[in-house]
Amino acid sequence: MNNKERTEGNRERGRRISESGNKLENWFESYLLRHMEEYEGTKAEFLEGIQGLTKPCFMRSVNLGLSEYGAYKEKKGNRGGMQYADFVIGGLEGFPDGLRVECKRQDSVGSADEKLNYTVANIERAGVPAWIGWVGDGWKDGAMARTRAQVGKTTSLIGVHHMEVVKEELVKLLHKKS
What confidence tens digit (pLDDT) does each residue in 24-45 have? 888 889 989 988 899 998 998 9
Nearest one of 149, 136, 145, 148 to 24, comparing CA atoms:
136
Q: What is the pTM of this model?
A: 0.81
Instruction: Give the count of domains, the chain.
Output: 1
| Structural domain for 14, as ranges | 3-174
CA distance 106 to 153: 24
Question: pLDDT (tens digit, 9 = 90+) per residue, 124-139?
Answer: 989 999 999 998 888 8
CATH (domain of 115): 3.40.1350
